Amino acid sequence: MLRLILSIVVFAALECGLWGAPSPGVPAGGTDVHAYSYLGVAVAAIDQERAAQLKLNDGEGVWITWVEDDSPAARAGLKGNDVLLNYNGESIGDPDLLGRLVRATPLGQKVRLTVLRDGKTLKLTATVQARKHPPVMPLQAMVPFDFSAPRFFMPDIPAPALCWRSSVLGVEYEVIESQLAGYFGVKQGLLIRFVLPGSPAQHAGIKAGDVIVGLANKPVANARDVTLRLRTEQTSAKPVPIEVVRNHKKQVMNISLADTGSIVPEHGRGDSMQP
């Protein structure tokens, strides 16, 4: 038997809050607060021995150990034992990266998938949807760690994430960088999770899934930058320019900050990793 030292990650792509807040594309204040983006698979990392057998480079692809019935993955044609190589143009070699990409995908968006099956490369298309209930994963989907004795199964472990809420702008956002930032075509920025109805951000045309990279003609990369820019500009009667990236294209909008109150940073909430 192959020695598999694999990390088990079941992705449901929950948004900022365990079984909680809406995903990009879910209007804030909606009736179903448990809706979130998901793909419907369990995946594991691929060790060097298995990668060599499949003729994959080290760190290339993730192994699909289970596909949920009637899920976006199942409807797209994904199957157990497929190897997922690419998600919407982003090479996948890490289960955690796949989870973050699915979480960041707006509901209803079509994504391109590249999989390896029986030595052949296939191109599939999935439509990311909202999950209405927790996944029910069969025991066989859990991949055992290979130790001499005894065998046991490692349960899913939630990973922490930080979201911030700005009542001045009327948005909730996550600071992004590294690979996830590259997926959106930026070096760093603030990923908008959702926009409050009637807020200055909504009036300016900002949408969930946008990435803010500049405010008041200065770059922003974290919550502190937002606080400093808004403290300076909040009393201004003139609209303030805000630079966002949408579909890999930069655009500048004007946002009015008059009579919007104060900034309310929100504590980070646990983020479970499930596509």
Q: What is the pLDDT along the chain (275 residues), one digit of tens a residue?
A: 333 333 333 333 333 332 233 444 444 444 343 457 889 898 888 888 888 888 888 889 999 988 998 899 999 999 989 999 999 999 998 888 888 898 888 889 999 999 999 989 999 999 998 877 766 665 555 544 443 444 455 565 666 668 899 988 999 999 998 888 888 999 999 999 989 999 999 999 999 999 999 999 999 999 899 988 888 887 777 899 999 999 999 999 999 886 554 434 443 433 333 34
pLDDT for the residue numbered 219: 94
User: Does any domain span residue 113?
Assistant: yes
Do 138 and 176 fall within a single domain? no
Do 88 and 180 fall within a single domain? no
Residue 238: HSE in the Cβ half-sphere, 13 Å Cα cutoff: 5
User: Does any domain span residue 91?
Assistant: yes
User: Does any domain span residue 224?
Assistant: yes
Final residue of a domain: which of 125, 159, 193?
159
Do 145 and 206 fall within a single domain? no
Residue 195: HSE in the Cβ half-sphere, 13 Å Cα cutoff: 22
Residue 172: HSE in the Cβ half-sphere, 13 Å Cα cutoff: 23
User: Does any domain span residue 3?
Assistant: no
Do 214 and 136 fall within a single domain? no
Final residue of a domain: which of 159, 194, 215?
159
Q: What is the CATH number of the domain that holds 172?
A: 2.30.42.10
Do 134 and 208 fall within a single domain? no
Task: Look at residue 219 and give its three-state secondary structure.
Answer: strand
Q: In angstroms, how far is the first alpha carbon of the chain from the final one?
A: 28
Do 239 and 123 fall within a single domain? no
pLDDT for the residue numbered 31: 38
Do 129 and 215 fall within a single domain? no
pLDDT for the residue numbered 20: 32
User: Does any domain span residue 240?
Assistant: yes
Do 113 and 229 fall within a single domain? no
Do 151 and 20 fall within a single domain? yes
The number of distinct structural domains making up the chain is 2
User: Does any domain span residue 149?
Assistant: yes
Do 28 and 124 fall within a single domain? yes
> What range does the domain containing 212 cover?
168-259
User: Does any domain span residue 269?
Assistant: no
Token pair belonging to 54: 């499949």
pLDDT for the residue numbered 18: 29
The Cβ of residue 77 has, within 10 Å, a number of other Cβ atoms equal to: 15
User: Does any domain span residue 213?
Assistant: yes
Do 27 and 123 fall within a single domain? yes
Do 193 and 101 fall within a single domain? no
Final residue of a domain: which of 159, 177, 210?
159
Residue 71, Cα to own-chain centre: how many angstroms? 17
Alpha-carbon separation of residue 50 from 5, 24, 46, 207, 238 (angstroms):
11, 36, 6, 42, 60
